[in-house]
Structure 1
Amino acid sequence: MAADPRDFIRKRAAELGFSVCRFADVRDPWLAGERLKSFVESDYHGEMAWMETTLERRSHPNGMWEGAETAIVLGMNYGPDHDPRPELDEAANGYISVYARGDDYHEVIKGRLKILAGQIGARLGEEVKVFVDTAPLMEKPLAERSGMGWQGKHTNLLSRELGSWFFIGTILTTAKIEADKAEVQYCGSCRACLDACPTKAFPAPFQLDARRCLSYLTIEYGGVWPREFRSMTGNRIYGCDDCLAACPWNKFAQTAQETRLQAREALVSPKLADLLLLDDAAFRALFTKSPVKRIGRNRFIRNVLHAAGNSNDADLIAPVEGLLDDPDAVVRATAVWALKQLSPQNFETAKKEKLPTESEASVRSEWEA
């Protein structure tokens, strides 16, 4: 009797630091493609135009790779060593999403996946391809199909063993490997994640309007924010964990074992006063190897300015005023808003000097609001 290839793959996956390894049949039909189409047709994807342009390929794994037969879905835990929610009350400090406090998970996981995929290909004599959230592959539905977890009412994947805090990586292969049993949904009547959302980004359970999501706004959205969301962001400067952290299944969550995914001290509740002074070089140095680096200094400073405006901290008035002359128009516009929140008097004084010479429409509108 031939050995079950799953035994070898699971053993090697564990040795490489993965918390879980499951298998799914790629070719089975599913409803995920229709749900994605509805999401895009409702414009819930906002400025993420790539979701529309890759819709057909993204709708089913075989739309991207016709020859794929099996998905090997792997999870790596990144759980925090404490409940991060009290950090949201530290108005003078910024809140960075737990997943972004260590090294970029794309790099950490992709390296391990490549090692594992190479060993699988050599062992089975089949083609393999690796994916970590960077290609038109719907990994959460595949993970649900593999039995790793289920998509909760907040649309993120949940696990009875890992709670909310884990990354997903996928290996597609032409090898036909026996699939694991799909997971069922265990949310029941719970609404904790939906009620925790500060911007009410969920039109209904299992639906997300990304345009209202603070993770989307702080990371994917590039312009001056709609005014309604600026006070809602509190001190969140990169991402938002509220819906994840609220989930009762986190009682089973584990602290990250992979050293590179553990939080760096400098990225846990960093001082807003320090962040407002970052130029491009200092930004890159602080966030080296971090996923935060990919949004760039200007978008990050915009986010920090929202937090400063919400802080009621008079010590931040001077660094905010310093950004009224920033080369980036989005930063200048957001600095105007932040100054008005912190000190209406300083705002009126600065307006007399800045407004007459300001040519950018987005900045002028903030002075005139």
Structure 2
Amino acid sequence: MPQLEQEDLKNRLVAQALKEGFVAARICRPWDVPDVPARLRSFLDAGYHGQMSWMEERANWRGDPAALWPEARSVIMLAESYTPDENPMEVVGLQDRAAISVYARGKDYHDLVKKRLKRLARWLISEAGEATQVKVFVDTAPVPEKALGQAAGLGWQGKHTNLVSRDWGNWAFLGSIFTTLDLPDDRAEPDRCGSCRACLTACPTEAFPAPYQLDGRRCISYLTIEHKGPIPLELRSKLGNRIYGCDDCLAACPWNKFAVEASDLRYAARAGTVAPPLAELAQLDDATFRETYSGSPIKRIGRDRFVRNVLYAIGNSRTPALRSVAQGLCSDPDPAVADAARWAVQRLT
């Protein structure tokens, strides 16, 4: 395809991506992240991945996007905003209520972003020809989305390791379309964090051993979502009332003054996800939990891990009235739930 035609296709592709609801679309090559293998190996060697064994098992792909699909010539990186309507930190101070991460309050982003990516990929094939091959990815494959996002110019990886943009802040989901098309690429975005340390100092568990480094074993998002079994004693009190994920480092970023409103109403918080009562959440059985969080990313951790987190929040609540709720779960069939319940009772005694 002649260069002028490539440029025209790229411009129309970006315009179509914005029509689909993405806030930005940029292009890089699969091999434009040469420092990822070394950074990933350092992360894994330090044990920062905790129980996420899949990161080690798929390190060869995650460290080298070109190895994931050798035929790919371009990666179209896309960002989709989920900026909250309110200050997500307000709920953190409510003792008898739960704090749920903003991204998990609406419909599961995996479904929404993937459908949007597939529509855009079909459009690309219709415009470039049936010989065009594409693969779409949203968070579930071993793709270093943040590094590719920086290489493509979507933004830069901030000191909290998340992607930040001067155009839309850091409240965004990332998706990618790998394609055999050789599209004109964009320039990488330079780091604009400067001397700011707001995200680092905001972390309740001190999960950043240094700027641009995250010890997942101390991250509240990891602890409440990925970590199986009892959470280490020294970290439980630092969870506060955060029962699913954590927004502290994201909310602290000053670049959010440029945050873009979410274009999809399905990202809006559904009933029962903004400051729900801890007492009610602790009573959920498996069937009710599944029904309550159907279509939500929360469902993936299951009732036991969810209630375990709720009980840690109850133990941190300084609300004696919740002691009886915890007592009722001290003999729960799940060992981690029972352990969390006993810990909460002791804290409220």
Q: Normalising by structure 1, what TM-score?
A: 0.91
Asked if 1:55 is matched to 2:45, the reply is: no
Paired AA for residue 10 in structure 2: R
Post-superposition offset of 1:86: 1.8
Q: Distance in 2 between matches of 1:264 and 1:186?
A: 34
* Kept after mapping to 2: 8 A contact 1:27/1:69: no
Post-superposition offset of 1:254: 2.4
Post-superposition offset of 1:161: 1.0
Asked if 1:318 is matched to 2:320, the reply is: no
Correspondent of 2:138 among 125, 132, 136:
132
Post-superposition offset of 1:6: 1.1
Q: Equivalent residues in 2 for 1:320-335 (5 A)? A: 320-335=326-341
Q: Distance in 1 between matches of 2:263 and 2:144?
A: 26
Matched positions, count:
343
Q: Distance in 2 between matches of 1:15 and 1:49?
A: 38
Post-superposition offset of 1:122: 2.9
Q: Quick one: percent identity of the two aligned structures? A: 51
Asked if 1:6 is matched to 2:6, the reply is: no
* SS, match of residue 39 in structure 1: helix
* Kept after mapping to 1: 8 A contact 2:33/2:148: no
Mean alpha-carbon deviation: is it higher for 199-208 or for 116-125? Answer: 116-125
Q: Distance in 1 between matches of 2:298 and 2:33?
A: 36
Query: Deviations along 1:295-321, whole A, 9 cap, x unmatched?
Result: 000000000000000001122112111
* SS, match of residue 232 in structure 1: helix
Post-superposition offset of 1:178: 0.3
* Kept after mapping to 1: 8 A contact 2:32/2:148: no
Correspondent of 1:211 among 206, 209, 217:
217
* SS, match of residue 91 in structure 1: coil
Q: Equivalent residues in 2 for 1:232-243 (5 A)? A: 232-243=238-249
* Kept after mapping to 2: 8 A contact 1:326/1:332: yes
Asked if 1:196 is matched to 2:202, the reply is: yes
Paired AA for residue 12 in structure 2: F
Paired AA for residue 11 in structure 1: A
The aligned counterpart of 2:37 is 33
The aligned counterpart of 2:302 is 296
Asked if 1:277 is matched to 2:283, the reply is: yes
Q: Which consecutive aligned stretches of 4+ in structure 1 deviate over 3 angstroms post-superposition?
A: none
* Kept after mapping to 2: 8 A contact 1:131/1:171: yes
Q: Equivalent residues in 2 for 1:123-162 (5 A)? A: 123-125=127-129, 126-162=132-168
Asked if 1:80 is matched to 2:94, the reply is: no
Q: Normalising by structure 2, what TM-score?
A: 0.96
The aligned counterpart of 1:24 is 28
Q: Distance in 1 between matches of 2:104 and 2:154?
A: 22
The aligned counterpart of 2:181 is 175
Q: Distance in 1 between matches of 2:31 and 2:215?
A: 29
Q: Distance in 2 between matches of 1:255 and 1:227?
A: 39
* SS, match of residue 114 in structure 2: helix
Correspondent of 2:104 among 96, 100, 103:
100
Structure 1 unaligned segments of length 5 or more: list them: 344-369
Post-superposition offset of 1:29: 5.2
* SS, match of residue 272 in structure 2: helix
Query: Deviations along 1:89-120, whole A, 9 cap, x unmatched?
Result: 00100000011000000000001111111221
Post-superposition offset of 1:283: 0.8
Structure 2 unaligned segments of length 5 or more: list them: none
Mean alpha-carbon deviation: is it higher for 167-176 or for 13-22? Answer: 13-22
* Kept after mapping to 2: 8 A contact 1:73/1:143: yes
Q: Equivalent residues in 2 for 1:241-260 (5 A)? A: 241-260=247-266
Q: Distance in 2 between matches of 1:231 and 1:273?
A: 18
Indicate the RMSD between aligned Cα atoms, in angstroms.
1.1
The aligned counterpart of 1:366 is none
Q: Distance in 2 between matches of 1:75 and 1:136?
A: 18
Larger-gyration structure (1/2):
1
The aligned counterpart of 1:362 is none
Q: Distance in 2 between matches of 1:217 and 1:76?
A: 25
Q: Distance in 1 between matches of 2:268 and 2:36?
A: 32
